[in-house]
Structure 1
Amino acid sequence: MNTICQIEIDYIKPSRSIETLLLKNLNNKRVVYVYNYEGWYFRFFNSINEVLDFFEDKFEPTISFEDEEKLDKFLENLDLSY
């Protein structure tokens, strides 16, 4: 199981943010990003380039959640080996 550590949170608007997260377990570490839209919709990104492309309408993430608990479970179980 991964540990989730929030590194930074950047507010785009008061109700919209990009969270930079460090996921780690005994063997691996990985930085990922989550776009939080008003606390109701969360999009997952593997890299900052994906985030930038998303805001330039060049990329749509395939992993998204409408529930923060489901997002947390996903992050806790994400394979960090790559």
Structure 2
Amino acid sequence: MRPPVPPSSAPRTPDSVEPGAVDLSGLDAVDWARLKHGHGSADDVPGLIRALAADPDDWAEVLDELIGDDLLHQGSCYSACPP
């Protein structure tokens, strides 16, 4: 049995977010079609990242699709995760 984790002094508030353009330079430099996620080819990943950067009304759903359904599907890590 492990001892409990000691209390942390880390802030419990989210980071502040400054409005402005998101730098997606390099996104298209990745050969996404060569990489895999939980449902096959990761060629849809750039579109999902761009959708998140555009701050859509369905932001939470897009994030859930990208992270929960595709990149970390059922807790697995795929070749598209690191980039």
User: TM tier, shorter chain?
Assistant: under 0.3
TM-score (norm 1): 0.25
The structure number with the bigger radius of gyration is: 2
Q: Which protein is richer in strand relative to its size?
A: 1
